């Protein structure tokens, strides 16, 4: 197995990515890593993995076209290496929009896939259980057919990464009854229903999405992005308010000493860093987008996700699902 890593472009510099690669290689000595970036900054990787030089870094707000033009950037060099070395996966924590577009152009979509989808695992109220939600932001709008294809991708992901044999799949909607929702969601419902999609359970509302009944939730990229970011926002809001609350006075500070372990656990449950990153499903290779503000631990998780997806041969699984 061969994984290409774009080491530049994250908020925390290449050093956290280097630390992650060293850690990952300790546990996975047989997996080849090709690290792309500034050679000096990557000198600590000598003897650990292959290092490939790149001259520039894609800025965080770069658009698709800008990225494609920056041929000597770590992101583009990494994508080129992915193809030329016939590697299995690529991981980057650079600009999301730019990376997804450039990866789609370079890696190409699986034939018959209409649109790629960004998939993210969310924490649920059931300890240790994650729910796979897609699309969370690769698209601005999606047709019913695209929403139907996302089902095959999400199912394959849930099976591959979380080992769920028969994932329970729901459509994100503004009500649970059949016949609810936007025209695209209504039509998608009928596609799932009439084709007897395995594990299709109907609609789910956003308020119930984290309660653990669903293994996979399908939505258009715009709503999915709202769901992802509002979950993130409210979680941060609560954390901030809890902190304020405990700092209020001597008594609340003593109170904090008694519950800090629990608060820490809660924070970890809601911490996206533990879930590694989002993956672009529907492309011909494994494409993982680590969080821009990943620390070494988060980047190791992203590498682990890439590894699981390669081991599970997710690309073939999606191809098979779609051809049925």
Residues that bind its own copies (CB under 8 A): 61, 97, 125, 137, 140-141, 172, 174-175, 177, 181-183, 185, 205-211, 219, 221-223, 225-238, 240-242, 245-246, 248, 251-252, 254-259, 262-263, 265-266, 269
Minimum CB distance to its own copies, residue 27 (Å): 31
Instruction: Count CB atoms within 10 A of the CB of residue 245.
Output: 11
Query: Nearest CA to 283 among 158, 99, 124, 31?
Result: 99
Give, for 119, the enclosing helix (H) or strand (E): strand 117-123
Nearer Cβ to its own copies (292/321): 292
The residue written with tokens 């969601």 in the block is 185
How many CA atoms lie within 13 Å of 280's alpha carbon, on the beta-carbon side?
31
Nearer Cβ to its own copies (163/179): 179
- Separation of alpha carbons 305 and 287, rounded Å: 10
Q: 155-193 burial by CB neighbour count: b if 16+ within 10 A, else e?
A: bbbbbbbbebeebbbbbbbeeeeeebbeebbbbbbebbe
Nearer Cβ to its own copies (38/95): 95
The first and second tokens of residue 239, run together, are: 């954390």
Minimum CB distance to its own copies, residue 191 (Å): 17
Minimum CB distance to its own copies, residue 61 (Å): 7
Minimum CB distance to its own copies, residue 237 (Å): 5
Minimum CB distance to its own copies, residue 132 (Å): 16
Nearer Cβ to its own copies (72/141): 141
Nearer Cβ to its own copies (175/198): 175
Nearer Cβ to its own copies (225/308): 225
- Separation of alpha carbons 299 and 276, rounded Å: 6
Minimum CB distance to its own copies, residue 206 (Å): 4
């Amino acid at each position: 197995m061969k994984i290409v890593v774009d080491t530049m472009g994250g908020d925390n510099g290449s050093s956290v990515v280097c630390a992650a690669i060293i850690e990952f290689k300790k546990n996975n000595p047989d997996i080849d890593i090709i690290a792309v970036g500034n050679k000096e900054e990557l000198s600590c990787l000598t003897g650990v993995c292959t290092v490939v030089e790149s001259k520039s870094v894609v800025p965080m707000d770069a658009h698709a076209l800008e990225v494609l033009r920056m041929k000597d950037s770590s992101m583009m060099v990494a994508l080129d290496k992915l193809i030329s070395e016939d590697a299995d996966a690529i991981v980057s924590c650079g600009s999301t929009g730019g990376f997804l577009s450039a990866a789609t152009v370079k890696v190409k979509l699986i034939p018959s896939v209409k649109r790629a989808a960004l998939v993210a695992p969310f924490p649920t109220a059931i300890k240790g259980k994650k729910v796979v939600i897609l699309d969370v932001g690769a698209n601005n709008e999606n047709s019913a057919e695209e929403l139907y294809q996302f089902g095959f991708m999400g199912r394959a992901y849930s099976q591959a990464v979380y080992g769920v044999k028969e994932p329970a799949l729901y459509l994100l909607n503004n009500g649970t009854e059949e016949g609810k929702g936007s025209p695209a969601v209504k039509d998608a419902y009928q596609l799932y229903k009439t084709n007897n999609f395995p594990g299709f359970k109907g609609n789910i509302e956003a308020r119930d999405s984290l309660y653990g009944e669903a293994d996979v939730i399908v939505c258009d990229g715009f709503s999915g992005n709202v769901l992802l970011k509002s979950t993130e926002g409210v979680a941060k809001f609560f954390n901030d308010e809890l902190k304020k609350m405990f700092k209020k006075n001597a008594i609340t500070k003593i109170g904090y000493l008694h519950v800090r372990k629990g608060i820490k656990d809660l924070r970890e449950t809601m911490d996206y860093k533990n879930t590694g990153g989002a993956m672009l499903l529907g492309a011909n290779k494994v494409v993982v987008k680590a969080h821009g503000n990943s620390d070494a631990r988060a980047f190791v998780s992203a590498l682990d996700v890439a590894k699981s997806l390669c081991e599970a041969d997710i690309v073939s699984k999606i191809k098979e699902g779609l051809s049925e």
